[in-house]
Structure 1
Amino acid sequence: MAQGRLRIYLGAAPGVGKTYAMLAEGRRLAAEGADVVVALVEPHGRRLTAAMAEGLPSVPRRRVVHRGVRLTEMDVAAVLARRPGIALVDELAHTTVPGSRNPRRWQDVEELLDAGIDVITTLNIQHLESLNDVVEEITGVRQHETLPDPVARRADQIELVDLEPEALRRRMTHGDIYPPDRIETALTHYFRVGNLTALRELALLWLADRVEEGLQRYRAEHGISAPWETRERILVGLTGGREGGTVIRRAARISARTPGSELLALHVVPGDGLADPVPLAEQRALVESLGGTYHQVTGDDIAAALLGFARTENVTQIVLGASRRGRVMSVVRTGVGRRTIRGSGPIDVHIVTHEEAGGPVPRPGSGSGRAPGPGRHRWSPYRDRRWWAALALAAVLPPALALVLTAPGTGVGPAGALLLCLLLVVVIALVGGLWPALLAAVVSAVLADRWFAAPGRSLSGARADELLAPAVFLAVAVLVGLAAGTAARRARRAGRAAAEAAALSRLATEMMRGRELPALVEQIRENFGLTSLSLLLRETAAGVRTRWYVVAAAGERPPERPEDADVEALADSGLTLAGRGRALGTDDYRVFAACGAQLAVAYSRGVLARRAAETDTRATAERTRASLLLRAGRELRAVLRTADEALVRLGHGAGTRADEARLLGTAQLSVRRAERLVADLETLNRLHGGALATVLRPVDVGEVLTASLDELGPGGRTVEVSVPDGLPEVIADAAQLARALTALIADALRNSAPGAPPSVVARALPGKLAVRVTDGGSPAPPAGDRPPGARAEGIAQRLSRELTEAMGGALTAAGTRGGRFTVTLTLPAVAPPARPGPDGTPGPG
């Protein structure tokens, strides 16, 4: 069965017209012949919205009676049975009525989508989970009904319903959004122009990111590499040099002048090596502090790697530091900046001057300049530009020197000419090693034979003593070339070893700091310049083919099986590190396998930690269960003993009818206490097992207290209750709060002396509301060494405490000298007590 399609009308605030737009679209589709039904619409008394819903077929809503109040909710079963083509469901983020099929409406919608039914729904930006803290900071109101972002991002289509803040406020003043008694408060609190403008910007930016994801998918699917200037992206190239801070700040200023732009920083590491992040740590921190993101890729050609990344990320501007090469080196080899400009095409390239421009290029390990990378594995001279440059110098400079020395009037003899040629060979050996130096020596010897031999003579026909100087010349050239080549190889190996050690050390450090596996995998992926990387777990069962599971992954389209990867390494028994993007050389693969082994250690450590935590949790649960059973046994025995004594006395004849009635009432009360005790134990068991659902929403404490006293029966009428007018609502589950208060009040009644009824007092605190339950004083003296008023925590108090904590509140107990015992239950309030009543908090819509 095909999955249904989800379409969301997104709004920045209540009242912008999301529900109206949804209904208008439903009417349009119905006019075109689509099977459209209204599954759930909340008009909230808005005339135009209700009128738009008229004429559309609808599925009757299910009626639910909750605590004596009749409520309605979407009938998911009826919608599934009706199987329309399109269902209109309002308020995607809201909580359903207690007792519904699912606790959240988006879960109802997912059932409809799984059944192949298309759904059109509405959503306010403040209900997105990722923006909850931002919305609270802007408006001062905490949204307790949130929607996981992946649910919204999975939508096939999201359409923004936009309205200017002033236009929305005009709608508010006309009574099109809230009732008249809430308009003034809403306009001066939640619906201030600044709040609405900020929420509108949030909605636009979030939707822009969503559109950007779709654009990137389209470009990837159609193989489009040229940048599209839909959004300014400024890329700054980093070498790790001291000029990095200057270039980063310049790029940040360019980005700041372009609203909505994005700042990216890139460091290119040689394609056959690893990255050493230490010299780049400060620059990376600077980029992130300026709101940018840091990236690292691998490539032999820095300019090509830079442009490739820019085209992949749809970059529109590149910012580079001016070349640090001097004039001579700029003539010998074109710099990265010039090559980037030549290949940039439509991408603008900015060259930023700095103090290091035109200076010497720092060598690796010098403490400045480009961050040192590791040496190349399996070094080949044919891949080294220095080798080719030295070869060219060996072919060009000796003839040029010969032309200079043979010019009339130079006055340089054969011995001086050979010494100059030897100096030239030494320089070429230092640049390119043995083979260029040997070529220069041979060319110099041939030229010496042609230009510097005596007239009519040549070195080929000279005596043995005449061949000594050329022979020494060739030997010195070979030795210098060997020494230079050996030194270069050792330097490369040392750099390689240092970089490998740095990479493995950094990975081990991050593991010791407790970084999660995905972050470690991302670090390895960046170090090796792979496009994606996965840590795979193999599961093999008897008679079942081998299956692979992705434990952690990073990058785009990470491999899900080893055969999908370009490089793989066995990390541990059953674990494989698989990467996609490029093959690795022998040395890189060795480090790659070592990183895989470290990841396997981190994974095993995590498994052991989870098992230990589960074991501790189970042990704690067993201790708690044993403690509760022991405590419940004591209370149950006391209750049953009271009932048994009353029944025994009743059986032996209690005397008068009044005595019989009293004993019978005592027995009945004890049986009810035993039933309540068993019910409390069942509730605690469900709470500990995670089977007790808690639905938080604004609740009136006065109504909950009334329900709790009704639950107590006749005993509830002997409780003194004080609930002032104008108390704010609390964020709680009404049923669970009533259960907690019932248990506390019943416990206070049991521990009150005759004629001293317990009291219940509710009062507002800053951002909270407290309900204090105080008994009338224990009729018996405290047992053991407990101070007056002290009492061991019973089942009722334990149940109330855990229910309160499950709702985000707290419960404290304290005794007094008068033998009275007070329990205070505190829960977060919807609004500060300084602003009682409606405060403009957005309702549905």
Structure 2
Amino acid sequence: MARGQLRVYLGAAPGVGKTYRMLEEGQRRRSRGTDVVIGLVESHGRRVIEGLLADGLEIVPRKTVTYRGAEFTEMDLDAVLARRPQVALIDELAHTNVPGSGNAKRWQDVEQLLEAGITVVTTLNIQHLESLNDVVEQITGVVQRETIPDEVVRRAEQIELVDMTPEALRRRMVHGNVYKADRVGAALSNYFRVGNLTALRELALLWVVDKVDDQLDRYRAGHHIDTTWETRERVVVALTGGPEGDTVIRRAGRIAARTKGADLMAVHVARSDGLAGADPAHLARQRVLVEELGGTYHQVVGSDIPTALLDFARGVNATQLVLGASRRGRLAQMLSPGVGTTTTAESGHIDVHLVTHEEAKRGRRPVRITAGLTMRRRLAGFALAVVGPLLLAMVLLRLPVRYSLATDVLSFLLAVLAVALVGGLYPALLATAAGLLLLDWYFTAPVRSLAIDDREHMYALLAFVVVAGAVSTVVQLAARRTGEAIHARTEAETLSTVAGSVLRGEQPLQALLNQVRETFSLDNVTLLELRPDAPLTPERHHDPAAWRVVASAGGPPCTAPGEGDAEVPIGADLSLALCGRGLDAADRRVVEAFAAQAALALRQQRLAEQAAAVGPLEEVDRVRTSLVSAVSHELRSPLESARAAVRRLRGRDAERDAPDRAVLLATAEESLERLARLVDNLLDMSRLQAGALGMHPQLVSVAEVLPRAVDDLGEAGHRLRIEIPDEVPDVYADPALLERVLVNLVANAQRFSPADRPPVLTVGEHGGQVEVRVTDHGSGVQVADREQFSPPIQPPGEYDDGSGVGLGLALSRGLAEAMGGDLNPDVTPGGGMTMTLTLPTADLLDGAEPPSDVEIQPADPAILDRLDSWSRHEAADRS
């Protein structure tokens, strides 16, 4: 059976018209004869949507799911599968199903329909994508708990963006086409601000652009299209690892900046043998520069650099390629065209830019041909080159039997090979010259003369020179390759050790400095930073007042770069000073790589410190946003109740019976009292966030505070079961704040408990702490929501089953934590929510004496008797 196709209508925010477009698509397909049904559509009371629903499309009835005593409706997946339509319209792809359904998420239901061969048309908002969850939270201040993996949406055959400007969407909301009138004001001032909608719209557009890029790449790969399609500017800059890379990157960045939305990519082609490579210090610094310009860094391996470079550029559909001008000399360019010329000739439709730089005039650094051999071996080779041919000539002349010239040439060739193995190329060349003179003087007719009579002898001597030179060169290259391999392995082991020390949990910057000191046996390694006010004089290199020690490892740190035995500059304002010994060229290259990583680690460390400093400010802003949202939600109900009661009292039928007037007055009074409590909570929350809430902690008994909290609740407070033992340890808390916490917890529990099952308040001791548990039997809180319960404020409406987690509970938890306690939600067995208030006892004060003004007041026996009688009375009522 063929898999069904998925079509997604993606929007930036609710209300842009996704459901409308989905229903229009269903009507269009039905008019063509396609079997279309509505699996589930949420109209949210919108007249336009309800009109389309009533326009002939078949609707599969929903199923009812009972969860914690409440009934919910969900899509009947089994009914849709049994109906087997050609197309199913299913709204809100990221929806979380009620516990007890077959699947946890609606997108999993859609996957089953697709596997059954049913095409699905659905809707989704951009904020529900998993990859954008944290970005949306940062923009809007609202945590999106219903998310869907990006891969599920990316697998869709069609994704259509339903776009609308923020101004048009806000006008649609004002006209009542999105939310009901009582919700429009709060929505426009919070989530649906112009800035939020603009940012969400940009996120949606960019995500769809990436999706289109993926589709284009798959098409080009499937049709084997190697030519560049200039659908989007992509600038690729090639890095050699040399010092000219900074100039080339900045030039490429300016080219990319000229086109809005252009991509900047840097690529370095490493040799496939892994022996000779670029300077890692330069590459590390240039990688940071590319990322600062908004680009990405890539590294590929290839033996042919132009081919590897062009393969990468064509693979990413690059439109422009930027290279630095060649650093080779004129003679080298005459012998070989070079990377730039070859790349330009083979680039095809890709534009190639050659950027001039200062290094282009200096040529490449000459390669040390004696690399890989120690000085002792080279001296021994020269000595052998002088003595060896003379000894060999004496041996050959004293032999009793004279051999042919070919045998003499092969003997001297073996001697040259031995010299090359010992001392390298230059001693071998010296041995070759000495061997040539000895062969011509003693073994070629006429002897004891440099003249050569026979052409065959001349050819033999010439062949000796060529073969000896070639063998010497090959031996030298092998020795150099061996040295490079050993050096590369040492560098790799060193870098691996550094990475391991960082991954073990050490501070990255300190780990790098310690590893440099240990690897190169140094006394001290110091990272210095130039002060902003340092004078621009040559003496500042040795002036301690111009530098600041950022980090140090080992003995006493250097106070200026000039104090060290070696210095590795890192940019214009950072320098790494080394004390203990100097560095040779090979060691300096590794240290420069470490220095670049140290600069990057310092940058990350400072960014983390800035983020930590900004964190409290972001939290305050989040609190303010949530506070406004919570207040607007919590205040609306008592205000509307009081206004309705007053309107009825002042209306035309104001002359009403005394009982009716009493009921209306009681309603108004109750609403105003609730409003007053909310205002008190709001003021206390503001003081708590500002750190200005006065606290007077003392040892106090919960049994004393509890009756006052119950009395504050009035008649509603007597609808409470209390279970408290005879002896409860005193807690260290502010009596007034503790009373406020208890009032809020009990009031919240009574609000959501059924009339026949009143809340239960239990006091007990556990682990040296006093626990006050307030249990209700309402609809409760889902596990995902309970895990997200975090102080100080949760925006209203996040708990779909109406758990009532709002300003009161937020303030309660904030007060509990201010008193050294905690407040956590939990599931009530049988349905409901249990709030557990934990407070420290005198035993948890870490042995410290309480303040001198603490009054240790034993519990009043009369109060305990009152609670005891109250509990017995409630037990009698229950029986």
TM class by shorter chain equals 0.5 to 0.7
Map 1:211-610; keep pairs closer than 5 Å.
Answer: 211-273=212-274, 278-279=280-281, 280-363=283-366, 464-467=448-451, 482-503=471-492, 506=495, 510=499, 513-514=502-503
- 1:330: Cα distance to partner? 2.1
Q: Does 1:770 align with 2:812?
A: yes
Q: Distance in 1 between matches of 2:477 and 2:225?
A: 42
Distance 1:9 1:476, change over 3 A: same
8 Å CA contact retained: 2:242, 2:278? no
User: What secondary structure, in the 3-state scheme, does the structure 1 residue paired with 2:254 have?
Assistant: helix
- Contact 1:326–1:360 under 8 Å retained in 2: yes
Secondary structure of 1:60 counterpart: coil
Task: Kindly indicate whether residue 93 of structure 2 is the aligned counterpart of residue 44 of structure 1.
Answer: no
Once the two structures are TM-superposed, the CA of residue 205 in structure 1 deviates from its matched residue by: 0.8
CA shift, 1:88, in A, is: 0.8
Unaligned runs of 5+ in 1: 367-371, 376-428, 450-458, 517-668, 674-699, 719-729, 741-760, 775-788, 821-845
Cα distance change on mapping 1:734 and 1:225 into 2, 3 Å: closer
What is the SS of the residue equivalent to 2:264? strand
Change (3 A) 1:31 1:183: same
User: Counterpart of 2:491 in structure 1: which amino acid?
Assistant: A
Structure 1 residue 323 displacement after superposition: 1.2
Q: What SS is found at the alignment partner of 2:309? A: helix
C-alpha distance in 2 between matches for 1:104 and 1:111: 12
Corresponding residue pairs, total? 513
Contact 2:40-2:62 within 8 A present in 1 as well: yes
Residues 276 and 503 in structure 1, CA contact (< 8 A), matched pair in contact too: no
Query: How far 1:9 moved relative to its partner?
Result: 0.6
Cα distance in 1 between the residues matched to 2:144 and 2:747: 23
Aligned to 2:85: 84
Change (3 A) 1:43 1:340: same
Give deviations 1:606-625, integer Å, cap 9, x for gaps.
xxxxxxxxxxxxxxxxxxxx
- CA-CA distance at 1:478 after TM superposition: 6.2
- After TM superposition, the structure 1 = structure 2 runs for residues 623-772 of structure 1, keeping only pairs within 5 Å, are 705-708=750-753, 713=758, 732-733=781-782, 764=807, 768-770=810-812
Determine if contact 1:710/1:716 at 8 Å carries over to the other structure.
no
Higher relative contact order (CA 8 A, sep 6+): 1
How far apart are 1:104 and its partner, in Å?
1.8
Cα displacement (A) at 1:189: 2.7
Answer whether contact 1:437 1:477 (CA < 8 A) is retained: no
Determine the C-alpha separation between the residues in 2 that align with 1:492 and 1:6.
57
Aligned identity (percent) is: 50
Are positions 1:171 and 2:172 aligned together?
yes
Range moving further from structure 2, 468-477 or 501-510: 468-477
Matched, 1:131 2:127: no
C-alpha distance in 2 between matches for 1:485 and 1:19: 75
Letter in 2 for 1:2: A
The answer on whether the counterparts of 1:762 and 1:770 sit within 8 Å (CA) in structure 2 is no
Q: Secondary structure at the match of 1:296?
A: strand
Aligned position for 1:113: 114
- For the residue of structure 1 that corresponds to 2:359, the secondary structure is coil
SS at match of 1:216: helix
Distance 1:105 1:490, change over 3 A: same
Task: Report the Cα offset of residue 771 of structure 1.
Answer: 5.8
Displacement after TM superposition at 1:10 (Å): 0.3
Distance 2:326 2:319 in 1: 21
Residue 278 of structure 1: how far off its partner (Å): 2.8
Aligned-pair distance for 1:41? 0.3
Query: Do the aligned partners of 2:11 and 2:204 also contact (CA within 8 Å) in 1?
Result: yes
CA distance in 1, matches of 2:320, 2:224: 21
Q: Secondary structure at the match of 1:294?
A: strand
**Structure 1 residues 202, 485: closer, same or farther in 2, change over 3 A?**
same
Q: Which moved more, 1:121-130 or 1:210-219?
A: 210-219
Shift of 1:59: 0.6
Measured in 1, the distance between the counterparts of 2:824 and 2:138 equals 35
Q: What is the distance in 2 between the residues matched to 1:168 and 1:808?
A: 41
- Asked if structure 1 preserves the Cα contact closer than 8 Å seen for 2:753 and 2:759, the reply is no
Q: Is the 8 A contact 2:242 2:279 kept in 1?
A: no
Query: Which residue is equivalent to 1:64?
Result: 65
How far apart, CA to CA, are the structure 2 residues paired with 1:38 and 1:237?
Answer: 54
Paired position in structure 1 for 2:576: none
Distance 1:801 1:365 in 2: 75
Does the Cα contact within 8 Å between 1:709 and 1:716 map onto a contact in 2? no
Any stretches of 5+ residues in structure 2 without a counterpart? 374-419, 506-720, 725-744, 764-778, 790-803, 843-855, 860-879
The 1:5/1:98 distance shift into structure 2, 3 A limit, reads same
Distance 1:352 1:790 in 2: 64
**8 Å Cα contact 1:128/1:146 also seen in 2:** yes
Per-residue deviation at 1:255? 2.0
Shift of 1:262: 1.5
TM superposition shift of 1:237: 0.4
Displacement of 1:209 in angstroms is: 0.9
Q: Which amino acid aligns with 1:259?
A: K
Q: Secondary structure at the match of 1:357?
A: helix
Q: Give the whole-Å Cα distance in 1 for the aligned partners of 2:364 and 2:828.
A: 66
Aligned counterparts of 1:70 and 1:763: Cα–Cα separation in 2: 23
1: CA distance between counterparts of 2:17 and 2:91? 12
Moved more, 77-86 or 9-18: 77-86
- Give the Cα–Cα distance (whole angstroms) in 2 for the partners of residues 808 and 131 of structure 1: 33
User: When the two structures are superposed, what TM-score results if normalisation uses the length of structure 1?
Assistant: 0.53
Distance 1:236 1:321 in 2: 9
> For residue 18 of structure 2, what is the aligned residue in structure 1?
18
1:452-495 per-position Cα deviation (integer Å, ceiling 9, x unaligned) = xxxxxxx9986651338989998777665554443222112211
- In the TM superposition, what is the alpha-carbon distance from 1:710 to its structure 2 partner? 5.3
Task: Tell me the SS of whatever aligns to 2:812.
Answer: strand
1:139 CA displacement: 1.8
Give, in whole Å, the separation in 1 of the partners of 2:782 and 2:364.
67
Whole-Å Cα distance in 1 between the matches of residues 756 and 367 of structure 2?
79
User: CA offset at residue 97 of structure 1?
Assistant: 2.8
Looking at structure 1, the residues matched to 857 and 230 of structure 2 have their Cα atoms a distance apart, in angstroms, of 77
- List per-residue Cα deviations over 1:610-668 (Å, max 9, x = no partner): xxxxxxxxxxxxxxxxxxxxxxxxxxxxxxxxxxxxxxxxxxxxxxxxxxxxxxxxxxx
- The more displaced of 59-68 and 296-305 is 59-68
Task: Give, in whole Å, the separation in 2 of the partners of 1:256 and 1:70.
Answer: 56
Residues 712 and 28 of structure 1: CA distance in aligned 2, closer, same or farther (over 3 Å): same
What secondary structure is seen at the aligned counterpart in 2 of 1:87? strand
Q: Verify the 8 A CA contact 1:91 1:121 in the aligned structure 2.
A: yes
Q: Give distance in 2, aligned partners of 1:347 and 1:515.
A: 45
Is the 2:110–2:120 contact (alpha carbons within 8 Å) kept by the matching residues of 1? Answer: yes
Deviation string, structure 1 residues 725-746 (Cα, Å, up to 9, x no partner): xxxxx995289979x9xxxxxx
Compared CA separation, residues 283 and 349, structure 1 to 2 (3 A):
same
Moved more, 137-146 or 55-64: 137-146
Cα-to-partner distance string for 1:420-462 (whole Å, 9 max, x where unaligned)? xxxxxxxxx9xx989x999x99xx99xxx9xxxxxxxxx9986
Tell me how far apart the structure 2 counterparts of residues 122 and 714 of structure 1 sit (CA, whole Å).
41
Contact 2:88 2:120 in 1 (8 A): yes
| Closer/same/farther in 2, CA of residues 506 and 119 from structure 1, 3 Å limit | farther
CA distance in 2, matches of 1:154, 1:249: 38
More displaced stretch, 167-176 vs 506-515: 506-515
Using the alignment, how far apart are the partners of 1:129 and 1:357 within structure 2?
Answer: 48
Q: CA deviation at 1:310?
A: 0.8
Are the counterparts in 2 of residues 762 and 772 from structure 1 also a CA contact under 8 Å? no
Q: State the distance in 1 between where 2:462 and 2:784 align.
A: 100
Structure 1 residue 331: deviation in Å?
Answer: 2.1
Check conservation: 1:90, 1:122, Cα contact below 8 A.
yes
TM-aligned CA distance change 1:241 to 1:101, over 3 Å:
same
Matched ranges for 1:142-157 at <5 A: 142-157=143-158
